[in-house]
Structures are given as C-alpha cells and as structure tokens.
Amino acid sequence: MSGATLALAPVAAIGRLAIFAVRGVSHVFRPPYYPREFGQALMQIGWYSLPVVALTALFTGGALALQIYAGGSRFNASSVVPSIVAIGMVRELGPVLGGLMVAARVASSIAAEIGTMKVTEQIDALVTLSTNPMKYLVAPRLLAAVIVVPALVAVGDSIGIWGGYLVGVYHLDFNAVDYLKNTVNYLESWDVVSGLIKGAVFGFIVALAGCYHGMQSGRGAQGVGRATKSAVQAAAVAILATDFLLTALFFTS
C-alpha cells in the first residue's frame, strides 16, 4: 500500500462516517416514523444504563471530595470541597464518565445487534419489504440517545454531588447546611447547561458509533466482534476529543 493511500484512508473513513451521520439525521425528521423502535431505544439506552451511570457518579463524587480535601488541606483551602465537587461533576466528570459508561454498554450493544442483523441478512429482508434500514434502525437510536443521555447526565450529576456530600459531611466533618449552601452558591446555571449539552453530543456520538460500525460489520462472528470492539473504541476516543473541544468553546474567553 502506497504512502498516498495510507494518508487518504483516514480521510475516506471520516468522509464515510460523515455521510452516514447526515443520512441518519435526515431520516429523523422525515416520515414514516417507528415509535416502537424509538421506545425500545429509549429503554435500552436510558433506563437500562441508569444503574451503572448512578453507581459510577456516586463513587466518583465521593472520591473527588476526598481528593480535593487532601489537596486543599496543603494550602488551607479545604473549604472549597463542596463548590469544586459540584462544578467538577456538572461541567466535566458527570458528562464524560456518563458518556463513557453509556458507550461501553450501549455502543457495543447497538453494534452487535445491527451487525448480527446484517450477518443473518435481516437488513436485506428489511430492504425487500421496502423498509429503509437507516430510518428503521439508525434514526430512532440517534434520536433516543440525544434525548436520554442528557437525562442520565443530570441524574449522574445529582448523585455525584450527593456522593460528595455524604463523604464531606459524614467522613470529613463538614457542616451539612454549610456544605449545601456552598454547593448552591458557587454553582451557576451555565455549568449545568453546558454539561447537558455535552451529554446530548456524547449521546449522538455513542449511537452513531454503534450504528455505523454495526452497518459496516463483516460477515461471520468475527466480523460482529470486530464491529463491537471498534464501536466502543471509536465512541470513547470521540467523546474525550469532543469534550476537550466543547470545554474550550464553552469556557475559554
């Protein structure tokens, strides 16, 4: 393979993904619609992901409180624990960790499901029945992820702040009322909104990665396995890269 081909391969892959994304989004806004598939996607992406997101946020909030207290004590600034835990959770850790947990659970599931349908020729059967696979399989999952992942992020933010509160009050001997006052006083609405916007973008990335790699799956069990692995890897890297870009956009003057 020549050097020019190697250089153009990533560009071609990005182009194919961009075309797939545009096609998927365009089908979201055009009938016919499949409410049953949309409802199932909401349950799969949202409700079934809630336990892992909640547990991740709870322990992250507690660990964050311990780390900030240990670091702040060196500079006599341990009182900033409540505000930093709240800001850190809603701006950064809540959206990113929630997105990564959803990617690990949902991107792999979507890729495996669609990849298996491709291997067993169920997608060809949809085409035979005059049903567009992009509209039936991709569009409902994209829309459901954009709607439900911000809700998961909001729940994760609340539980993460609560985890920091439990550690701060019952382990670090903070006054409960003062802890809550500091949390509320230093948390701005844009902090919360920016995290929810990140959640919507990350949800789109997760669903897009799962659908795209599922549709690109090779034949056989090995092809489905590679598609599943690629979907999770692509979603995780894209979430972290997009988080950097969004943070620079939102919080760099």
What pLDDT shows up at residue 78?
Answer: 77
- Whether 81 has a pLDDT exceeding 60, the answer reads yes
pLDDT in tens, 15-43: 888 999 999 999 999 888 899 999 999 99
User: Is residue 160, in this structure, part of any structural domain at all?
Assistant: yes
User: Is residue 4, in this structure, part of any structural domain at all?
Assistant: no
Cα–Cα dist 75/54, whole Å: 32
The whole model's pTM is what? 0.93
User: Is residue 183, in this structure, part of any structural domain at all?
Assistant: yes
Expressed as residue numbers, the domain containing 66 is 42-247
Residue 239 CB-half CA count within 13 A: 33
What pLDDT shows up at residue 129?
Answer: 87
User: Is residue 30, in this structure, part of any structural domain at all?
Assistant: no
User: Is residue 28, in this structure, part of any structural domain at all?
Assistant: no
- Whether 5 has a pLDDT exceeding 70, the answer reads no
Give yes or no for a contact between 46 and 144, defined as CB atoms under 8 angstroms apart. yes
User: Is residue 236, in this structure, part of any structural domain at all?
Assistant: yes
Cα–Cα dist 125/112, whole Å: 18
User: Is residue 24, in this structure, part of any structural domain at all?
Assistant: no
pLDDT in tens, 98-126: 999 999 999 999 999 999 998 888 988 98
Q: How confident is the model at residue 1 (pLDDT cuts 50, 70, 90)?
A: low
Cα–Cα dist 99/243, whole Å: 10
User: Is residue 9, in this structure, part of any structural domain at all?
Assistant: no
Q: How many domains does the chain have?
A: 1
pLDDT in tens, 122-157: 988 988 888 899 999 999 999 999 999 999 999 999
178 DSSP assignment: H
177 DSSP assignment: H
